[in-house]
Structures are given as structure tokens and as C-alpha cells.
Amino acid sequence: MTTQRLPYFVGISGQTVDAKGLSMHLVVIPPGGRAEPHVHVGYETGIYVLEGTVRTRWGARLEHEVVSRPGEFLFVPPGVPHEAMNLSATEPARAVVARNDPAEQDKVQPYVPGPDGAQA
């Protein structure tokens, strides 16, 4: 279980293979599940959706959104607050996630949007 409250399966990281600049894993969002709002401090994230339909909201108030489907890519810049939601109530969503940090979970911070867009 990650800081984002999602199960994931680490394939490549500093801990598993002594990677120096990369982590890569499979993330699963359970049916109807969602990640807690969070930010990645200091690293980029690339996502490739394998199965399911995922809505990702981002921004200071999580005011923007995009829906990603199998075969689509999504990029999350460093420091951008975001959350992901599985739009299916019956099927899990799965994606391959790559990050340019071998210890990325050490740099995930929960995010609580405030009314003015700043973290509460």
C-alpha cells in the first residue's frame, strides 16, 4: 500500500535493483477506488494505462481533469497536486508507472486543497 492509498507492485527501484535514477511499477486502482490527493516532490511521473478508465484531477484545487483509457499516456510534472479515480464500480484499473527517482515513495506528500487553492 502506498502513501496514495493504492496497492502497487514494485518492479524497478533503488531498493529492488539498486537503480540510481528510475523507479517503475504496476499500480492497481480497485473498482470504485481512488488515490488520496498528493504531490510528488522533485520528480516526474509517466503513466501508461493498461486496463480500465481513470479520471485524474489536478491543480491547486484539483480543478482540472482528464480521463485516461487503455493505451493512453499521462504525464505528471513534479509538485503538481493530483488524484486518480477508477471510473468502474466493477473492474480494477491497472497502469504502468515510471518515475525519474529510484526512491519515489519517500517523496510523496499528502495534499489537502484549501479554499484559496493553497494546501490546507
Tell me the CB-side half-sphere exposure of residue 117, using CA atoms within 13 A: 6
Report which of 113, 49, 50, 52 is spatially closest to residue 81, judged by C-alpha positions.
113
For the chain of 120 residues, list the mean pLDDT of each consecutive stretch of 10: 66 91 93 93 94 96 97 96 97 95 75 70
Give Cα 112 to chain centroid, integer Å: 16
State pTM to two decimals.
0.85
Which residue intervals of the chain are DSSP H helices? 14-17
At 91 the pLDDT is: 97
Q: Domains plus CATH for the chain? A: 8-101 (2.60.120.10)
